[in-house]
Amino acid sequence: MVALYKEFHSKGLNIVGISLDKDATKWKEAIAKDKLTWTHVSNLKFWEEPIAIQYEVQSIPATFILDASGKVVAKDLRGEELKAKIAALLSK
């Protein structure tokens, strides 16, 4: 995700990380350690995280690609498939 963000952020990619952590200190330390510069949110409720419930997250990591209108257009893509989908959406 870091490489994708660096490559595509200037072209319009935004990432919002939703954490299922319980411990705020460990969560914030991990963000800093991994140098994750995008927006991060968490209610520190583990699997009771309202956003995870809303999007029916069953395992982590989970990825959701939303278009400019907020509609989910793909989910749980990885690697080159994820990169290709992002590139295609940003080229429109």
Domain boundaries, the chain: 2-90
Task: For residue 65, list its beta bridge partners.
Answer: 74
Question: Taken in order 77, 79, 80, 83, is the CA torsion positive or negative?
Answer: positive
Residue at token pair 């209108």: 69
Averaged pLDDT in 10-residue chunks for the chain of 92 residues: 95 95 96 95 94 93 91 95 95 84
What are the DSSP calls for the chain, one per residue? -HHHHHHHGGGT---EEE---S-HHHHHHHHHHTT--SEEE--S-GGG-HHHHHTT--SSS--EEE-TTS-EEEES--HHHHHHHHHHHHT-
pTM (predicted TM-score): 0.85
Question: Which pLDDT score is estimated for 68?
Answer: 82
Question: Which pLDDT score is estimated for 20?
Answer: 95
Question: Which pLDDT score is estimated for 92?
Answer: 78
* Assigned token pair, 2: 């870091």
Question: Could you tell me the CATH superfamily of domain 2-90?
Answer: Glutaredoxin (3.40.30.10)
